[in-house]
Amino acid sequence: MAITRFAPSPTGYLHIGGLRTALYSYLWAKKTGGEFKLRIEDTDNARNNEDAVKAILEAFEWVGMPSDCEIEYQSKRIDIYKKYIAQLLEEGKAYKCYMSRDELDALRASQEAAKQNPRYDGTWRPEEGKVLPEIPEGVEPVIRIKAPLEGKIEFEDGVKGKMSFDANQVDDFVIARANGMPIYNFVVAIDDHLMGMTDVLRGDDHLSNTPKQIVIYNALGFDVPKFYHMPMINNPAGKKLSKRDGAMDVMQYKRDGYLPEALLNFLVRLGWSNGDQEIFSMDEMLELFDPNNINKSASAYNAEKLLWLNAHYIKNVSNERLAKELEFFDCNLEGHDKKEMLLDLCKERAQTLIELKDAINNILEVPTEYDAKGTKKFVKEGTIEMLNDYLALLEANKDSLHLAPDYEAITKPFIEENGLKFPQLFQPIRIALTGGTQAPSVYDITAILGFEETKSRINSAISKNFGKE
């Protein structure tokens, strides 16, 4: 049974890489009958953003990945962290360091000049027989942990395999600032232990933090969880993903007309696969996902693949669901007697909910202007007379016109009897009904609009001479 977490910092909105991390953590917990927990890492008061917290929680609600426990806020757990800092000080595993910022800067400069890796030199580290400097006045100390001076820090990474770091790569790093506030690596280790984490899935940009966190686990006698460090998501050129490439606020995907199922399906494949399978329901993800099979190499964001997936889900979710989703875009089909027919028709071409809304509005809204290029091409001498004859045919059969096949049954003979080609009739009708030439089948549009509205729009176009000057 795996207990996993996602722990964003509320300094910005939840982005696509963060959501993938959360998805993988959620799937592994649920697959093993465990728990997925959400923690907000908000100890940095200077950078925290209340709106970002709301957006993060809103994103998790939208994609349907709730926390299995009350959401933890690190800012409410400061007393817990201070208790463990005091414990480490009392046990001699941490100590107070009075080195000033100027002294630290000078030390770093000298190390860099000597082409050494910058690191704390242990000036204030208590050692047997060592005389510490005199405590300076007016300097509030930071708290540093005693890191091992020799040996190796090793762990088995579920993605990268065995990882080994020389202990001297980790200096006596700060675990609490001079103002008493604990720092990131310390609180993460404390929280992951107290929240019962068995597995920590995160981006490989956190790999360098892991040895430090293991030092903390060991100092406090905590069990070390299993780590999985996942390669980042790159843009198609292999560079860091930018907002232009898709690394935007997750909720922007909703505003752009994506369904959450499509986004999750897209993300699960950015770093993991099951053969050539592309379409995954949540049930299939839960059945098949295993973090031990996460790819070792970075994945590439593919906007076209996301659109393709979104189009698939738009076609396959229920019309009732689509109608509900469209309300977010101020498209309300409630009570429309041709709602099913309208959605069945328009969703076949739509890649996003915005495209679906536009296709629906293109049919339902009375055109206020007509495509000039299409009018010039298809409205010729004799077109108006032909349309009037066609309206007379519709009038004579109006009581039997309900579905698209009803319109087709009387229109095909009309085309044949008048020696017409299909575009000669259909394109002027499309322009009259929708203002353009790219709408769906005329039979479907007329069935949705009904005889009276079809007649009204064609007569209106005729009276305006299709907008010709």
For the annotated binding site, the residues are: 243
The CA distance from 186 to 193, in Å, is 11
Same domain? 420 vs 458: yes
CATH code: domain of residue 170? 3.40.50.620
pLDDT at 246 over 70: no
Same domain? 90 vs 194: yes
Same domain? 141 vs 206: yes
Question: Is 48 within a domain?
Answer: no
- Residue of 266, 206, 296, 172 whose CA lies nearest to 9: 206
Same domain? 86 vs 209: yes
Same domain? 301 vs 440: no
pLDDT at 390 over 90: yes
pLDDT (tens digit per residue) in 13-63:
888 999 999 999 999 999 999 999 999 988 776 666 788 888 889 999 999
The CA distance from 303 to 236, in Å, is 9
Same domain? 148 vs 224: yes
Question: Is 238 within a domain?
Answer: no
Domain extent, residue 317, equals 250-344
Instruction: Single out the residue in 230, 261, 280 at which a domain terminates.
Output: 230
> What total of structural domains would you count in the chain?
3
Average pLDDT, rounded, for the chain: 93
For the annotated binding site for ATP, the residues are: 243
Comparing 43-47, 94-98, 431-435, the range with the smallest average pLDDT is 43-47
pLDDT (tens digit per residue) in 112-125:
888 888 889 999 99
Same domain? 89 vs 203: yes
Question: Is 105 within a domain?
Answer: yes
Same domain? 204 vs 89: yes
CATH code: domain of residue 423? 1.10.10.350
Same domain? 167 vs 111: yes
Three-class HEC string of the chain: CCEEEECCCCCCCCEHHHHHHHHHHHHHHHHCCCEEEEEECCCCCCCCCHHHHHHHHHHHHHHCCCCCCCCEEHHHCHHHHHHHHHHHHHCCCEEEECCCHHHHHHHHHHHHHCCCCCCCCCCCCCCCCCCCCCCCCCCCCEEEECCCCCCEEEEEECCCEEEEEEHHHCCCCEEECCCCCECHHHHHHHHHHHCCCCEEEEEHHHHHHHHHHHHHHHHHCCCCCEEEEECCEECCCCCECCCCCCCCEHHHHHHCCCCHHHHHHHHHCCCCCCCCCCCCCHHHHHHHCCHHHCCCCCEECCHHHHHHHHHHHHHHCCHHHHHHHHHHHCCCCCCCCCHHHHHHHHCCCCCCHHHHHHHHHHHHCCCCCCCHHHHHHHCCCCHHHHHHHHHHHHHHHHHHCCCHHHHHHHHHHHHHHCCCCHHHHHHHHHHHHHCCCCCCCHHHHHHHHHHHHHHHHHHHHHHCHHHCC
Q: What is the mean pLDDT of residues 234-251?
A: 79
Same domain? 413 vs 330: no
